[in-house]
Amino acid sequence: AREAYIAARPKSAAAYERAKQVMPGGNTRSTLYYSPFPTAMESGQGCYMKDIDGHDYLDLCGEYTAGLFGHSEARILKAIEGAIGRGLNLAAAGERESVFAGIICARFPSIELVRFTNSGTEANLFAFSAARAFTGRQRLLAMNGGYHGGMMTFAGGGSPVNAPFPVTLAPYNGIEATRALIREHKDELAAIIVEPMIGAGGCIPASREFLQMLRDEATAHGIVLTFDEVMTSRHSAGGLQKLHGITPDLTTLGKYIAGGMSFGAFGGRKDIMAVYDPAHPKALPHGGTFNNNVLSMSAGVVAMGEIFTEEASEAHRARGDALRDALNAVCRKHGVAMQFTGVGSMTQPHFRSEPILRPYTQSATEEGVRELFFLDLMAAGIYIARRGMTALSLPVGEAECARYIAAVEAFCVARKPLLG
């Protein structure tokens, strides 16, 4: 499968050789590197893409959830084109940003006040700074295997990578153990950060009981509970927090919300967010040249105000749930050690049969099968994340779902001896 992948992609291989001359590992976004070399894409339209060697793909990667609207959605293009001719960077307050902020505050139950950033990473860093200023404490409690951006990566056996502050790592969905850690560190903890469904770590949903325990402990000890909904905010009009009926103190957002333009946001309780009010006696600075950039603000108003309405988000979640049910039915039918986890439109295959409660380190066999899954799907013209995740975009319909189900079934049949 690897040889076939290489043979079919001479231009991608050459592009990778050139890229290595000027970027470490030929890459400027670690997520997109994989061995032997990443397929270089040329263009996209709706839920389809073309690579530079001329292959067509059904795009189920969905830009790791940022591509919710599909490629070149007409209304978003129109919003961007409308803005482009009136000056890109005005270095001034505008009206669009407060309209956009109003839409976000109205949608997410926890968000009373919001601020924009350029990425989800920045949103999480600024949210944590707010929590530190508000509580006067310094430590973060995060989940082992959680991902909150390049500067807040907690995957890989538990050693915090890149985080410029003290972190305690807790086991996701481990109610007793996590409660004990919170109580042990309660006087030092400024914030708890949690993805209500772990995304990059494997599309693993938190139990409602786990999230409720975090809510209760945070309230009891004056710790700022932060939901990282950078990926999961798509799962209902008001994110997973609304679906669970659990309201964090702060929420961070990113990915699709500005219609695919660069974006991040953090928001929540008025009293906490007030640390960024310039009139606050100890106001924290929150700079960012592109925080209110005209293109993101313009695209976001249309994306969230007109396209991804409450009804659209409910229908999208239902489509994703139905797809995952069908994929799991295929796995059961063929009796393979394989399952799909997730919520709504985000799904991840796992090559083991026991219930999956938290991120885990794969065996070498599992990693081999995972690579094969990716290669077989690429050969079938279906683009997924190298780690297996799919994030449906809105243009993905019944026919596309059926195509993915058929490809997964073909994988189960062809690779059954490896799926024991």
Task: Give residues in contact with ligand PMP (CB under 6 A).
Answer: 64, 119-121, 124, 147-149, 195, 199-200, 228, 230-231, 254, 264
For residues 264 and 349, which CB has a smaller minimum distance to ligand PMP in the complex?
264
For residues 125 and 336, which CB has a smaller minimum distance to ligand PMP in the complex?
125
Backbone φ and ψ of 59, nearest 5°: -90, 105
For residues 46 and 201, which CB has a smaller minimum distance to ligand PMP in the complex?
201
CB of 342 to ligand PMP, least distance (A): 13
CB of 28 to ligand PMP, least distance (A): 12
CB of 372 to ligand PMP, least distance (A): 24
For residues 25 and 87, which CB has a smaller minimum distance to ligand PMP in the complex?
25
Closest-approach residue to ligand PMP (CB): 120
3-state secondary structure the chain: CHHHHHHCCHHHHHHHHHHHHHCHHHCCCHHHCCCCCCCCEEEEEECEEEECCCCEEEECCHHHHCCCCCECCHHHHHHHHHHHCCCCCCCCCCCHHHHHHHHHHHHCCCCCEEEEECCHHHHHHHHHHHHHHHHCCCEEEEECCCECCCCCECCCCCCCECCCCCEEEECCCCHHHHHHHHHHCCCCEEEEEECCEECCCCCEECCHHHHHHHHHHHHHHCCEEEEECCCHHHHCCCHHHHHHCCCCCEEEEEHHHHCCCCCEEEEECHHHHHHHCCCCCCCCCCCCCCCCCHHHHHHHHHHHHHHCCHHHHHHHHHHHHHHHHHHHHHHHHCCCCCEEEEECCEEEEECCCCCCCCCCCCCHHHHHHHHHHHHHHHHCCEECCCCCCEECCCCCCHHHHHHHHHHHHHHHHHCHHHCC
For residues 120 and 300, which CB has a smaller minimum distance to ligand PMP in the complex?
120
Backbone φ and ψ of 351, nearest 5°: -105, 55
CB of 348 to ligand PMP, least distance (A): 12
CB of 137 to ligand PMP, least distance (A): 22
CB of 122 to ligand PMP, least distance (A): 7
CB of 118 to ligand PMP, least distance (A): 8
The answer to whether residues 359 and 201 touch, using CB atoms and an 8 Å cutoff, is yes
For residues 195 and 376, which CB has a smaller minimum distance to ligand PMP in the complex?
195
For residues 228 and 376, which CB has a smaller minimum distance to ligand PMP in the complex?
228
For residues 63 and 400, which CB has a smaller minimum distance to ligand PMP in the complex?
63
- Answer positive or negative: Cα dihedral of 18, 24, 26, 29: negative
CB of 393 to ligand PMP, least distance (A): 16
For residues 12 and 124, which CB has a smaller minimum distance to ligand PMP in the complex?
124
CB of 391 to ligand PMP, least distance (A): 10
CB of 146 to ligand PMP, least distance (A): 8
For residues 21 and 289, which CB has a smaller minimum distance to ligand PMP in the complex?
289
Query: What distance in Å separates the CA atoms of residue 13 and residue 52, rounded to the nearest whole number?
Result: 10
Radius of gyration of the chain (CA): 21
Backbone φ and ψ of 36, nearest 5°: -80, -30
